[in-house]
Amino acid sequence: MSRSEVDVTEALAERPMRALPLAHLSLEVGHLYFEDLLTGVEGVSAYFQGVARWADTVRAAATSAQGRPRISTCFLIDDYFGPQRPPDEVIPMLLQASRVAGLEIDYLVRESACAEAEGVPLAALVEERIVAEPPPHTNGSRPPVNETGWLCNGQRSPVAPVVAAMQAAVSWAPPVETAATRHSVFVDVELWNEGARGRVWSCAYLAAVWQLLRLGALRYDGEPVAVPRPVDGGYPDEWSSLPAVIQLNPAAAPFAAYRAVSVLPRRFLLTEQAVRTILSQIAVDRAVIEQTRARAHAEGIELPPDVTDRIDYVFAGDPPAVSRGPGPTPTGP
């Protein structure tokens, strides 16, 4: 390690980290695309009824383990990928549908806030913490993540170069998962691509940032980011006019938590596998991890050092069915 790297490391270690209020559990009660909301109160409420049954099971398990746990609920809404409908139309409908199903949403989070929240470029900050170690027996010829926008959990199949006459061609080899158990499960994740509006972060990458937010693992110059705020008065007609994290329930437990559980439609299974691949190669600030584990220990809770081991899922059911006639395909991830 160079002297400059040591200086940076020491500076980061000495920087104070402001603590966050923490719940025992952050319970995500769904994530829908804007197309799903076209089913209105009836369709979304039917979806929430299925979620509510699993949410009750998660609450019961947490209560059995913790006694009287602090549990907050959250919902991630897609305002990053289109098409969009205004918040003054969507949010009241969404809350009505959840209440019909007996499901209380404490916090509503804008997916675009996982890219940038109140002037803080969260996605770019997390990108700087990617530590993608080269797999064994490679020569460094593969371009780095920050150039390609692709991250994998092992060694890709070799690409056969153009070879000169009389030279042996490179033979095919399978991709290999790093630290595989018996057989490889190789995952290659697109983090972003470049479009007409510049860099467009992928759904999986934004979801990785989302999970870090829920676990209270992100800071900017030692300060919390995307702090929940209520909305006074009516909802605006522009999503960008809303806080990154909207606190809907003033009596709710804290947004960030020691552990996170997501109740999601089955279609998100592959996305969340990609999320875990990304998180396994993110160097979360050590001071934040140690601070959180110490606070949990004071409450009689032992947390694992790896953030991915603090995230659990329930994959069940399908999103609301939208009747589709001829027309453009959905634009959600």
Categorize the per-residue pLDDT at 14 as very low, low, confident or very high, splitting at 50, 70 and 90.
Answer: low
Asked if residue 212 belongs to a domain, the reply is yes
- Give the predicted TM-score (pTM) of the model: 0.86
For residue range 218-258, what is the model confidence (pLDDT) as tens digits?
999 999 999 999 998 889 999 999 999 999 999 999 999 99
Q: In this predicted structure, what is the pLDDT of residue 333? A: 45
Asked if residue 287 belongs to a domain, the reply is yes
Q: In this predicted structure, what is the pLDDT of residue 166? A: 56
Lowest-confidence segment of 170-174, 264-268, 272-276 by average pLDDT? 170-174
Lowest-confidence segment of 56-60, 130-134, 137-141, 289-293 by average pLDDT? 137-141
Residue pointed to by tokens 């009389």: 166
Q: What is the mean pLDDT of residues 196-213?
A: 94
Q: In this predicted structure, what is the pLDDT of residue 140? A: 57
Asked if residue 250 belongs to a domain, the reply is yes
Domain range for 212: 17-116+203-267+282-315
According to DSSP, residue 160 is labeled: P
- Amino acid symbol at 316: A
DSSP one-letter string for 178-218: TT-BSB----EEE-EEEETTEEEE-HHHHHHHHHHHHTT--
pLDDT of residue 9 exceeding 80, the answer is: no
Q: Report how far residue 333's alpha carbon sits from residue 330's, in angstroms, rounded to the nearest whole number.
A: 9
Total residue length of the chain: 333
According to DSSP, residue 102 is labeled: T
DSSP one-letter string for 254-298: PSSEEEEEEEE-GGGHHHHHHHHHHHTTB---HHHHHHHHHHHHH
Asked if residue 137 belongs to a domain, the reply is no
Q: What is the mean pLDDT of residues 95-117?
A: 96
DSSP β-bridge partners for residue 74: 28, 107
Q: Report how far residue 252's alpha carbon sits from residue 237's, in angstroms, rounded to the nearest whole number.
A: 26
Q: In this predicted structure, what is the pLDDT of residue 80? A: 92
Q: In this predicted structure, what is the pLDDT of residue 85? A: 87
Asked if residue 112 belongs to a domain, the reply is yes
Q: Average pLDDT of the chain? A: 86
Asked if residue 289 belongs to a domain, the reply is yes
Asked if residue 67 belongs to a domain, the reply is yes
For residue range 301-328, what is the model confidence (pLDDT) as tens digits?
999 999 999 999 999 888 887 544 333 3
Number of domains in the chain: 1
Q: In this predicted structure, what is the pLDDT of residue 230? A: 96
* Alpha helices (H) in the chain, listed in sequence order: 3-14, 40-66, 87-100, 122-127, 145-148, 203-214, 269-279, 286-298
Q: In this predicted structure, what is the pLDDT of residue 158? A: 72
Asked if residue 83 belongs to a domain, the reply is yes
Categorize the per-residue pLDDT at 145 as very low, low, confident or very high, splitting at 50, 70 and 90.
Answer: confident
Q: In this predicted structure, what is the pLDDT of residue 148? A: 87
